[in-house]
Structure 1
Amino acid sequence: MDETWAEYLREVFLTPGFIPSDAHKAILQLDSRIIFTLNFDDIYERTANEAQPGSHIVKSYHDSDIPEFLRKDGRFIVKVHGSLNTPTKMIFTQEEYARSRTKNAAFYSCFEASLLTHSFFFVGVGYNDPDLSLLLENQSFLFDGGQPHYYLTSSDINADLIKSLRKNRNLKTIKYDKIDSQYSGLPACLSDLLELVENARRKLLETTNW
């Protein structure tokens, strides 16, 4: 890695001083215990810390104690591809993906366990990420008939791609109207989801059927 690479990445992702969007805030309000993020920046972490100081523990794929997010209480933000805090360990290339799956096998075992035991809701994730695609495809074919995960995307997604994601990665697509090129419709969609989530939680409290 070139010695200027870390400096360049920080200039791109940190120097502009990006502020949390309404979408970041809406995702936080969903109050998921575990958030897996493919982003290198710390915008979501800052969103969580500003709203609820000290409420979230941040882990990266290369941490030796990575199983904590599965075995301990609390809310976790897991950096699947690393972060700008340790630029030399950020995962960018196909080779880095392959090396990481071997070197950091403990993380991938935990990640796969999470995919088996939890329903994932993917927001703002590209469907062509090679690391994530491989994991989802492996589980889809290993555990045929398993419960699906959910992929939120704009309504202009191709119909054939929707079928492919369902067949090969066990992803059910949820479409929303992005409204414009800035995806202004996303926060409203997440707000609608939050209302449904809160209603479901109230029912759980009433029935105690965990």
Structure 2
Amino acid sequence: MDLEKELINLGIKEQVLQGLKKRKYHIFLGAGASADSVNNLDKNIPVISQFTKNLVKDFYLEDFYLKADLNGLFEECRLRNHKDESFFYDYLRDTFRCRNVAKWYEKFVQFRWKQIWTLNVDNVLHKAYNEHKEKSAFLTTNFYNWDQNSIPENSDDLSIVHLHGQISHPDKMIFTPTNYQSLVENKNTWHSIFEGIYEESPFIIIGTRLSNEFDIARTINKSKSLSNEHPTLYINRTIEDWQKPDFKRKNIHCIEMEAKDFFEQLYALAEKNNAIGLMESTKDIELKIKDKWQKLSSRDDK
């Protein structure tokens, strides 16, 4: 698919480009956004369906699988053939710790996103922003886990929120309906913030089917505000025909593309139209600091 032609057909090309230029877009990532990256096992980081199959195969759970959901599989993996959880946690780390980041992330990190929200527990974003530090649109990137209460103080920085936890803390990762329910009941800070932002802000949603994310279902089932001048985009490799009318009712534009193709074409389109939103130059930053210092000094003089 040609992204530029599709945006023109949808009548939203200029609105998307202006949103990128003005740093209005939030990013919402699902497992599909990590599937092109390689883990410590030299395999692609799995989406949840493949991960479930891997668990069954690697822990010899064929006899158990038909009788259990993922919650049951997790518990059985911890207990079967092992006296403690360390082996299972090592397995999770090898599965979701990224060794090689997909090449398209070199383009991804150059956009000035408003904020990134991810359902993924892997460290793909950490590695991408670290490896492409010299090309990143941000001097500082801060990562937050779903259970952290700290709120970003500097709006010039990029905040990346792991709504389902991170592989660095495998005991806090969210995979199962039981885990989801506890998030909803606890009403933790980041899910509350996301709920407040989602309805009124433009998003690019990519790599998730959304329907299985029980902890944010109430939020994403709301219609997007028509007052927002920048449209929300839902990107997935395949979008079922029956889903499209529902997304249309929610004021979400559907585009069937792979994550790789979407971000590579979006980068080319934004670069052509000066909408990348590049990081401010050192001179601009120094002038801002100088201006703030002068305001503080004048306030102190009073």
TM interval, shorter chain, is 0.7 to 0.9
Q: Contact 2:267–2:276 at 8 Å: present in 1 too?
A: no
Read off the aligned partner of 2:119 and give its amino acid letter. Answer: L
User: Which residue of 2 is the match for residue 98 of structure 1?
Assistant: 181
Cα displacement (A) at 1:200: 8.1
Given residue 129 of structure 2, which amino acid in structure 1 is its aligned partner? Answer: A
Question: How many equivalent residue pairs?
Answer: 187
Equivalent residue for 2:266, pick from 190, 193, 210:
190
Per the normalisation by structure 2, the TM-score is: 0.54
Take 1:152 and 1:28, find their aligned partners in 2: how far apart are those partners?
18
**Counterpart Cα distance in 1 of 2:260 and 2:225:** 36
2:261 partner amino acid: G
Check if 1:116 corresponds to 2:205: no
Any stretches of 5+ residues in structure 1 without a counterpart?
Answer: 203-210
Structure 1 residues 146 and 102, CA gap change in structure 2 (3 angstroms): farther
Alignment of 1:60-209 (within 5 A): 60-65=145-150, 67-68=151-152, 72-73=154-155, 74-130=157-213, 131-137=215-221, 139-140=222-223, 145=226, 147=228, 149-154=232-237, 156-167=238-249, 169-176=250-257, 178=258, 185-195=261-271, 198-199=274-275
The Cα shift of 1:18 comes to 3.0
Moved more, 32-41 or 51-60: 51-60
How far apart are 1:77 and its partner, in Å?
1.1
List gaps (5 residues or longer) in structure 2. Answer: 1-74, 79-84, 279-302
- Counterpart among 96, 110, 125 of residue 44 in structure 1: 125
Report the structure number with the largest CA radius of gyration: 2
With CA pairs under 8 Å and 6+ residues apart, which has the higher RCO, 1 or 2? Answer: 2
User: Does the residue aligned with 1:22 lie in a helix, a strand or coil?
Assistant: coil
Deviations 1:30-67 (A, max 9, x none): 221311111111111111122227620111110021x3
Cα separation, partners in 2 of 1:170 and 1:44, compared to 1, 3 Å: same
> What's the CA shift string for 1:153-200, capped at 9, x where partnerless?
23x432222222232x44221233x4xxxx763443332453377338
